[in-house]
Structure 1
Amino acid sequence: MSEVKLPPGYHQGIARPYYTSSPIPAVVGRAVLGNIDRFCLFSLLAVGVLVRLYKLPYPSEVVFDEVNFGSYIHEYFHGRFFIDVHPPLIKLLYYWCAILFGYDGEFEFSHVDEKYDQNVPYVALRLVSATCGLVTIPVTYLILRHNYCGPVSALFGSFLVLIENSMVTQSRFFFLDSPLILFTAVTMLGFSMARNSTAFSGRWHANWLLTGVFLGLACSSKSSGLLTYGWIGILAFLQLWTVLGDLEVSDFGWWKHLVARIVYLVGVPFTIYLAAFSLHFHALPNVGPGAGPMTPQFKATFKDYDTIRKEPVEVVYGSTVTLKHNEVGKYLHSHPFNYKTGSKEQQVTLYSYHTDYNNEWEIHPKTKRTDMRLFDQVNPIKNGDVVRLFHKATGKFLHVNNVRPPITEKDYANEVSCNGTRDLLGDINYEFKIHILDKKPHSKNNLPNIKLRATESVFQLFHQGTRCSLVAHQGKLPGWAFGQNEVLCINQPTIPNTLWYVEYNSHPMLDKDQSSERVNLGGLTFWKKFVEYQKVMWMFNKGMGGSHEYGSRPEAWPFLIRGTNYYSTDARVKTADEPGSHIYYFGNLAIYYFGVMAILFIGLKQVFYLINHLNPFMLPNETTNVSMFYQATMETILGYVVHYQPYFMMERELFLHHYLPAIYFCILTVTYFVEYQISKRKLFGYILVGVIGGLSLGCFVYFSPLIYGTDWSREACREAKWIGSWDFDCRTYKK
């Protein structure tokens, strides 16, 4: 009798009832699939094939981010190193698919709207993404069934995923998001099945392994996969806390639970993550456009980059050098364009492309010498020497002005520019004192602390005229300076921003003298390459500023304030009788608004539910339906917050598609709410299914021309602008 009165998940102890971590029999039993489930899964797949694969070859031009991921395929084909803010797994998958279906490496994906040629298997590439989107639909059904949803609710939730406009649009092109959503969904499915399995059984281990594998795939596909990792990590911690209070689990048993989760949720994902980068490095053995920010030791591992291994290590007067910032990883750079503010003299910036001639500087003494004396003699540069830096491309010297720089308009900051000519006589405003502070780890002795040595000495440049140090930082200059990093001179700056080293070094006398010492960078293990690449990825992500025409901020995403233009025939020349076509990344209005309302309403209910359950003297009086509703929605609301809130802290350019994982959690939350209503008020629950499903289907059909690029009238397009900020271009269509 007492067992009947106990809430779901509770067992009767000697003195009191206690909560157990064992699977709830009613939940396990309801997750068993029957014939109706098989029919639902088959129906979802059949309709999903029609919805997700319809007009997949259209358009036959490069669409939006296909220009980026296509260019990565091109670099993989030629083995040229590049850097992206995202891990490489899906990019590698697209590359292997392209090779399998006959890509010949000629098409360069140079710009959006470029016409694909016959040697680019773009349909096969899009099919990879579309298949991931298609498989996500039945996976969603299984997730819902393993979280105490009946077939009707599970079918309803999966149907919302099937027709959600932004998910359909994103799955039609070879982007990263559809594979990421699939990996996140399977991770969630594995976690749910593991929770419903008997601890340490074969099925339990298999489900945790499934969770760990797909968690690793998610983390290896896109940087936002780390948010999924954080979400699962929080849930795993809460599980361990529950197990800790389970009187049926011994102390040793709890440690077994902990070790198992470390193996499956740390060891397995991290192994997959490392393997993805190992494949990435192996596929890119040659130097490429992304090599600039990497250290000389990293560059020395490229097969075709002998320059750095053959250069002289000793830096002397007359040497041509590139100066690399030790913290930002970019090169001191100038070009024949002037500042729009301050002195209006020639700009000095940081630039990441390592082979640009505008990165090269000659080191001159503070007193003027003839070229013959500079290039026919070998005079080492020592710690404490005062030098001038001559910009070879423009014939001007590095200079500091006592005016405020463009971004850092502070009294202690001075503008850095280029001015003067090669005939310039001694002037203290063109003089910099070399102050060597440290040496690189690969240095063999203490010489780098005494004399300036390429790739080894880490130094400051102290301006003699204004008594400030040359610094650089992550801040970007405006468009008139091409968005390059600001260089300035500051009194008493933070030391890391003042540190430089010589990467490239050349001098006529030393280049010809084969007996002169050469740079010795040693080897670089995979682990060191991996760590360095992670740091550069992080810096690259932080530096993705700028402004995009269709960029948006997170606060606008739940309300669909605006979308993103992916493709428009108006952007190219078309024949007079050609119908207009426009593909606009845009969410399903009904699903977005019902989703955010569900998150807010159920989130508030969760607060009161938690407060009620904090009472240690009262057992919760609830059914399995209620218990599972609050458990499932706690997980999905947490998933929504974890996949959405971090974007508010990002300063980089963002787009509506960054909200895609969060909207997936919205759909699950809405579905759990519908199941909860069906269990309590069946008629009302079914009405909700009809209303939400009908409105969602209506939004999908009504805005389908923006998904598939089908013909539309200009008048219908204008009428579809229900919110004034929606900016899809109706001029694309005929009148």
Structure 2
Amino acid sequence: MAKKSSSPTATKLKSAALKHNKTLKDDDNVLTLDPLVEPLFQKGYIREYLITTPTTTLLKKRQLKNKELLFFIIPLIVISIFVRLSNLSNPNSVVFDEVHFGGFAKKYILGTYFMDVHPPLAKMLYAAVGSLGGFKGDFDFKSIGDKFPDTTPYVFMRQFPAILGIGTVLLCYLTLRQSGVRPIIAFITSLLLIIENSNVTISRYILLDSPLVFFIASSIYAFKKFEIQIPFSVGWFRALIATGIALGLALSSKWVGLFTVAWVGCLCLYQLWFLIGDLSVNTKKVWAHFFLRGILLLGIPLALYFGFFAIHFKLLKNEGDGAAFMSSAFRAGLNGNKIPTDITAEVGLGSVVTIRHMDTQGGYLHSHDHFYPTGSKQQQITLYPHLDSNNKWLIEPYNGTIHNITFVPLINGMKIRLKHLNTGRRLHSHDEKPPVSERDWQKEASCYGYEGFEGDANDDFVVEIVNHRTEPGQAQAFVKALKTVFRLRHAMTGHYLFSSEVKLPDWGFGQQEVSTASSGKRHLTHWYIETNENSILPKSQQTIINYPKLSLWKKFIESHRKMWKINSGLTDHHHWQSSPTEWPFLLRGINYWGNDHKQVYLLGNAVTWWSTTAIIFAFIIYSGISILNWHLGGSISTNKHVFNFNVQLFSYVLGWGLHYLPFFIMGRQLFLHHYLPALYFGILALGQFFELFTSYLTAQNKIVNKIGYFILAVFVSLGFVFYLNYSSLIYGTPWTKSSCELSRPFSSWDFDCNTFYKSLDQYLIEEESASSSNKPSKETETVKAEAKQTPKSKPKLAKKEPHIESPPNPKKAVNPEKLNEQLAPPAIDDKIKTPKKR
């Protein structure tokens, strides 16, 4: 009997089953796994539209396979541990910004207030780690190169950023897997991140960069996972909330996190555009997407950001050097403050007062028995930030003596004179240019007079109350201490008593210049009275007031105004600063540390660095050509590999741009490490290109495909060779002068080769002689003599000084008997003078 042939339908079913079984088998094989699905389009009224809702098939394809743990994840962890955690005890002294962030950890532990330009989370985490390690705040982290005592768990504290660096590598792998990259390509890309020199360097020291990049990487991973979830499912909400939390952590570590929030926001708007065009999604769901994403992706980060500042203020409850940059009302809430209390509110003729400037850190209207070297050469008028008897002024009537019979209140529009209590000279102005700010609209303010001199018309000032900044009520008619904000108009010239951030030179002890001005920012002419004593006013009629206790919200607002102002003021030139135009091309690094003929220098891995730059610029050109072609009637490829490449690379290049381009409009000092968040996006983009290269561009032919993988292997090998060659600059280990010079192809890579010995044997002999208490042998003496012939010029370090300007040096400007009354000068914590990094 003849065999019955199969029907066409049965043949199709059998073919589909075989194809399905092959797909399942391929999906189980981590080497041949295909994580992509074809994009789905539906025919609309006019044109096709993209189906935006992910499928369960896509979710299943993007799930991690059990074999990945064995073949990829565990090896990544092992290699990362070796690279990131090796020899963290070296150097055993302070490196680069450990000056600041180690110092901040100390201040958190001691509870002393400091001022910094960055949000508090990462610094609080370092303090927590240090406290767990037994750090009691007994080491100052004062200068680069200071050796750590045994009581400082610096290795334990350095392990924290190193572990976060390992976490960033894993997040890189997981992110690429969620964005449609096969395990082997995700593994190769993560290897490049492991051996990326600059990322290794930042993860070995007590710096903000490693926590920041980790939290940004967490945000990217959470959002990429969110993109492939079925809308409004449990997984969708979980990923959305995780994204919000990660964004909050990034934002609370450094303001660069704002760029990551902007990246997520831009992608949400981009996705909402396609949701609106997806006719299978009704209007109600589109609005649900809009509001849920907006509330969770903005609300959670802002709540976390505010919450961490609340903890920050709670921990820093004691007076500290950074308090000098806050208002007296803010400082009044700190333990151990010396802010005046129980102040008489009523101000009038005969009152002895101290007058504070409102909107600078200059402090009190001040004079002392020193004179301008130019101009009128009369007695100096300055602003001084500390309590001192030279801040006291007597309020006099402009046309006579004070009558000690009745109290005459100071009112709006009253003409007065201010007599300096210690020297007897009066506040004065005239037609002379100020000593530093030689502007036509500013005139010199001075103190003038002598014994028996009753003053002249140039001593007369008119009080003008500023109603919109003054507490409503009587304080807007009568000048009240603490409550009334006023201006002092010079009666003869119409100029107002004025001060900005301009500092006097050494002859003025670095104190803040005061002048009179007819122009300038109006708020810089605003003053208020802090202390007030008046013997004429009976005690029974005196109202005693104090600074009000600031709410958490007011503390939050004030601290951010100061942070913004200080950050904007970091404009002085720094030896190791660089321009954003240089960063993508790795034209220069930063010297972190140098000692004992060794050096730590921040330098990226040029193989990876330049490749990311090439891919990003190539994609921008490719996108422009594709868009032009589409406008000319051409079609956009819907091949799943090309489609996914376009979508994912667009998001990563967008992230790169948002974390890089804003630096072009910043006027402050900038350094290479500011580029590292953008570089992370670039590495993700590079991984996406590798995926397209091996799964589409070279996949049509097995031989060509093998050549493609061989090229990737060579690429990774080159990156590894670069990492090894420059590893001495990462770990601060011995290197030779000749090897250093051969490894410096560009003069702009300005690590100092003269730092290193001529041979490695010299390091060994030095170590042996250092550990031996016996008299050195002749051989040792010979080697040491050779070492002395080697130039020992230490590399110029990116020395980090206070971020904020130190207060004026009192020198002779204060009464020596009153020095004990002054607040401790702010040793301040974040750069304005030299290092000014970050």
Q: Distance in 2 between matches of 1:412 and 1:389?
A: 23
Equivalence for 1:632 = 648
Cα offsets for 1:347-394 (capped at 9, x unmatched): 65656xx43549824244376999xx7999965433334445566788
Equivalence for 2:33 = none
Query: What is the aligned counterpart of 1:600 among 604, 617, 636?
Result: 617
Equivalence for 1:244 = 276
Relative distance call for 1:479 and 1:593 in structure 2 (3 A) is farther
Relative distance call for 1:440 and 1:626 in structure 2 (3 A) is same
Q: Distance in 2 between matches of 1:726 and 1:639?
A: 27
Query: What is the aligned counterpart of 2:673 among 644, 654, 657?
Result: 657
Q: Distance in 1 between matches of 2:427 and 2:708?
A: 73
Equivalence for 2:41 = 10
Does residue 734 (structure 1) correspond to residue 757 (structure 2)? The answer is yes
Equivalence for 1:457 = 484
Query: What is the aligned counterpart of 1:365 among 389, 392, 396?
Result: 396
Does residue 696 (structure 1) correspond to residue 713 (structure 2)? The answer is no
Write the letter of the residue equivalent to 1:628.
N
**Gap regions ≥5 residues in structure 2:** 1-11, 13-36, 699-704, 759-838
Q: Distance in 2 between matches of 1:474 and 1:580?
A: 41
Write the letter of the residue equivalent to 2:63.
V
Q: Distance in 2 between matches of 1:510 and 1:100?
A: 59
Equivalence for 1:57 = 89
Equivalence for 2:767 = none
Write the letter of the residue equivalent to 2:494.
R
Aligned-pair distance for 1:248? Answer: 1.3
Note if contact 2:417-2:459 (Cα within 8 Å) is conserved in structure 1: yes
Note if contact 2:404-2:536 (Cα within 8 Å) is conserved in structure 1: no
Aligned-pair distance for 1:434? Answer: 2.1
Q: Secondary structure at the match of 2:150?
A: coil
Using structure 2 for the length normalisation, give the TM-score. Answer: 0.78
Cα offsets for 1:142-177 (capped at 9, x unmatched): 111111112232112211211111111111111111
Q: Distance in 1 between matches of 2:642 and 2:354?
A: 66
Note if contact 1:322-1:331 (Cα within 8 Å) is conserved in structure 2: no
Equivalence for 2:762 = none
Aligned-pair distance for 1:598? Answer: 1.7
Equivalence for 1:490 = 517
Does residue 536 (structure 1) correspond to residue 562 (structure 2)? The answer is yes
Note if contact 1:36-1:151 (Cα within 8 Å) is conserved in structure 2: no
Q: Distance in 2 between matches of 1:548 and 1:394?
A: 41
Aligned-pair distance for 1:512? Answer: 11
Q: Distance in 2 between matches of 1:242 and 1:142?
A: 26
Q: Which has the larger radius of gyration?
A: 2
Note if contact 1:217-1:269 (Cα within 8 Å) is conserved in structure 2: yes
Equivalence for 1:272 = 304
Note if contact 2:55-2:230 (Cα within 8 Å) is conserved in structure 1: no
Write the letter of the residue equivalent to 2:735.
W
Pairing of 1:564-583 with structure 2 (within 5 A): 564-569=590-595, 579-583=596-600
Note if contact 2:497-2:517 (Cα within 8 Å) is conserved in structure 1: yes
Query: What is the aligned counterpart of 1:507 among 533, 536, 547?
Result: 533
Equivalence for 1:576 = none
Equivalence for 2:54 = 23
Equivalence for 1:289 = 321
Aligned-pair distance for 1:81? Answer: 2.3
Aligned-pair distance for 1:714? Answer: 2.2
Cα offsets for 1:599-618 (capped at 9, x unmatched): 21111112233344567x77
Give the aligned CA root-mean-square deviation in angstroms.
3.4
Q: Secondary structure at the match of 1:457?
A: coil
Pairing of 1:179-578 with structure 2 (within 5 A): 179-305=211-337, 307-316=339-348, 321-328=353-360, 330-332=362-364, 354-355=385-386, 357=388, 360-365=391-396, 380-389=409-418, 398-400=427-429, 402-405=431-434, 409-416=438-445, 425-438=454-467, 440=469, 443=471, 446-473=473-500, 487-502=514-529, 504-507=530-533, 509=535, 513=539, 516-569=542-595
Q: Secondary structure at the match of 1:18?
A: strand
Cα offsets for 1:380-439 (capped at 9, x unmatched): 433334445566788876554645557754422334456667876514445433221226
Relative distance call for 1:287 and 1:54 in structure 2 (3 A) is same
Write the letter of the residue equivalent to 1:37.
E
Q: Distance in 2 between matches of 1:626 and 1:510?
A: 87
Note if contact 2:244-2:296 (Cα within 8 Å) is conserved in structure 1: yes
Using structure 1 for the length normalisation, give the TM-score. Answer: 0.88
Which stretch shows the higher mean deviation, 695-704 or 356-365? 356-365
Cα offsets for 1:77-120 (capped at 9, x unmatched): 23222222111111111112222221222222233222222222
**Gap regions ≥5 residues in structure 1:** 570-578
Aligned-pair distance for 1:514? Answer: 8.2
Aligned-pair distance for 1:284? Answer: 1.8
Relative distance call for 1:164 and 1:482 in structure 2 (3 A) is farther
Write the letter of the residue equivalent to 1:32.
Q
Relative distance call for 1:714 and 1:306 in structure 2 (3 A) is closer
Q: Secondary structure at the match of 2:466?
A: strand
Cα offsets for 1:254-308 (capped at 9, x unmatched): 1111122023201211121121111111112233322334344433433444744
Q: Distance in 2 between matches of 1:164 and 1:598?
A: 17
Relative distance call for 1:564 and 1:436 in structure 2 (3 A) is same
Equivalence for 1:709 = 732
Q: Distance in 2 between matches of 1:146 and 1:381?
A: 70
Q: Distance in 2 between matches of 1:652 and 1:600?
A: 26
Aligned-pair distance for 1:242? Answer: 1.6
Aligned-pair distance for 1:29? Answer: 4.7
Note if contact 1:66-1:173 (Cα within 8 Å) is conserved in structure 2: yes
Q: Work out the percentage of aligned pairs sharing the same amino acid.
A: 35
Note if contact 1:154-1:671 (Cα within 8 Å) is conserved in structure 2: yes
Relative distance call for 1:178 and 1:335 in structure 2 (3 A) is farther
Note if contact 2:649-2:685 (Cα within 8 Å) is conserved in structure 1: yes
Cα offsets for 1:222-256 (capped at 9, x unmatched): 11111111111111111122211111111111111
Relative distance call for 1:469 and 1:657 in structure 2 (3 A) is same
Note if contact 1:27-1:148 (Cα within 8 Å) is conserved in structure 2: no
Equivalence for 1:572 = none
Note if contact 1:583-1:707 (Cα within 8 Å) is conserved in structure 2: yes
Cα offsets for 1:628-684 (capped at 9, x unmatched): 111111111111111111111111222211111111112112222222222212356
Relative distance call for 1:553 and 1:477 in structure 2 (3 A) is farther
Equivalence for 1:718 = 741
Relative distance call for 1:417 and 1:580 in structure 2 (3 A) is farther
Aligned-pair distance for 1:127? Answer: 1.0
Write the letter of the residue equivalent to 2:133.
F
Relative distance call for 1:69 and 1:482 in structure 2 (3 A) is farther
Q: Secondary structure at the match of 1:236?
A: helix
Equivalence for 2:18 = none
Q: Secondary structure at the match of 2:344?
A: coil
Aligned-pair distance for 1:704? Answer: 0.9
Relative distance call for 1:582 and 1:494 in structure 2 (3 A) is closer
Write the letter of the residue equivalent to 2:227.
R
Q: Secondary structure at the match of 2:499?
A: strand
Note if contact 1:365-1:386 (Cα within 8 Å) is conserved in structure 2: no
Relative distance call for 1:555 and 1:14 in structure 2 (3 A) is closer
Equivalence for 2:602 = 585
Q: Secondary structure at the match of 1:654?
A: coil
Equivalence for 2:627 = 610
Q: Secondary structure at the match of 1:582?
A: strand
